[in-house]
Structure 1
């Protein structure tokens, strides 16, 4: 039921059906960051998407690792 609502919201906003659960993960993360979704809603949806093995692309993870490797913090 929860995922059906999410897919419907995605469809209304994007005007196409999500092709993968990863798209829904990106969608809820953006909604949360833009304060269009509460933390409670986000956690519930994240949990459902996690069951579907939704994940961020590997390149996002690699970019973050690269960022931390290139920043030097003075001690």
Structure 2
């Protein structure tokens, strides 16, 4: 999944635009946990978002 596809999916499901990269990362992680995304795609997008400065809510725990 490309980042622009991720933004589109986020907007369609949440009925609003993501405010931060963190919002996208959290959304993507929920999709992965739900089994909707395979591990390779997850790693690629996770690494990209992380390089853009996104931090996961799970990193604070």
The TM-score normalised by the length of structure 2 is 0.86
Flag the 1:51–1:16 CA change in 2: closer, same or farther, 3 A: same
Report the aligned-residue RMSD: 2.1
Find runs of 4+ consecutive structure 1 residues off by over 3 angstroms: 57-60
1:27-46 equivalences under 5 Å are 27-46=27-46
Q: Larger radius of gyration, structure 1 or 2?
A: 1
Compute the TM-score of the two structures, normalised by the length of structure 1: 0.71
Look up the match of 2:51.
Answer: 51
Instruction: Flag structure 2 segments of 5+ consecutive residues without an equivalent.
Output: none
Q: Number of aligned residue pairs: give it.
A: 61
User: Would the alpha carbon gap of residues 57 and 31 (structure 1) be closer, same or farther in structure 2, given more than 3 Å must change?
Assistant: closer
